[in-house]
Structure 1
């Protein structure tokens, strides 16, 4: 009987609601091979995961959750699988997580500190990236692959 209760507890705890420590309303623009979006979204994070929920006309249209896997409405996949399907295979596995947290990408390659953030310019045979982060916004553009991420505070 103990084992049955333990199995039920484990099974139902996997479906429990996640409590995020920080929730921010943002204006989000995404242009990638699989997602074209520009509207309001919620960026939620805890120490274990990050969630980006995209809304259009007040209705949730996509939810992207990042922890050890990246989950979308199409299912969960590895970070490299997400890059292959949604971004570009040349990107490092942690690029989506780092962008959503406004952290440096490519291990801080070519970083330049600015008054309230930083910039990175990364160019090689696969990418031509401009990445800017400040206290109110994040801007990522890969000219070579036509990918744009722009996340900014709603009151800016």
Structure 2
């Protein structure tokens, strides 16, 4: 009986609601081979999870939750598989969460502090990235792979 309650707790604790310490409404633009979005979104996070909620005309169209896996409406997958399917396979596994939170990418490579934020320019064989983080705007563009993220405070 004791094992039954333990198993019950483990199964249903994953379904419990998350308490996010930060809730921010943003204007979000995403352009990738598989995602095209430009409208209002919410970025919610705590010290363990990040949730990106995308809306069009006030209706939720997608939730992307990042923890040790990335979950979308179609199911959960590893971060590297998400990059492979939705972004670009050679990106570091933590690139999406770092972009959403405005943190440095590629371990801070070529980071230059500017105007209360920073910029990175990453030129490698398979990527050509311009990444800018300022107090109210995050901009990511990979020219080689035609991927854009723009996140602006409302």
In structure 2, C-alpha distance between the alignment counterparts of 1:141 and 1:43, rounded to whole Å: 20
Please list, as runs of the form range in 1=range in 2, the aligned pairs for 1:37-48 lying within 5 A after superposition: 37-48=37-48
Say whether residues 1:90 and 2:85 are aligned partners: no
Q: CA deviation at 1:120?
A: 0.4
Do residues 151 (structure 1) and 151 (structure 2) align?
yes
Output the CA distance in 2 between the equivalents of 1:18 and 1:114.
35
Residue 10 of structure 1: how far off its partner (Å): 2.0
* Aligned residue-pair number: 154
Is 1:81 aligned to residue 87 of structure 2? no
Q: Which moved more, 1:1-10 or 1:92-101?
A: 1-10
Could you list the runs of 5+ residues in structure 2 that have no partner in the other structure? Answer: none
Partner of 1:131: 131
Quote the Cα distance in structure 1 between the aligned partners of 2:11 and 2:119. Answer: 44
SS in 2 for 1:83: helix
Q: What secondary structure sits across from 1:129 in the alignment?
A: strand
Q: Which residue of 1 aligns with 2:54?
A: 54
Q: Which aligned runs of 4 or more in structure 1 are off by greater than 6 angstroms?
A: none
CA distance in 1, matches of 2:57, 2:76: 26
Measured on the aligned residues, the alpha-carbon RMSD in Å equals 0.8
The unaligned stretches of length 5 or more in structure 1 are none
CA distance in structure 1 between the aligned counterparts of 2:104 and 2:78, rounded to whole angstroms: 20
Residue 107 of structure 1 corresponds to: 107
Normalising to structure 1: TM-score of the pair? 0.96
> What is the CA–CA distance in structure 2 between the aligned matches of 1:6 and 1:119, rounded to whole Å?
48
TM-score, normalised by the number of residues in structure 2:
0.97
Query: Alignment partner of 2:7: what SS?
Result: helix
Give the superposition deviation at 1:6.
2.1
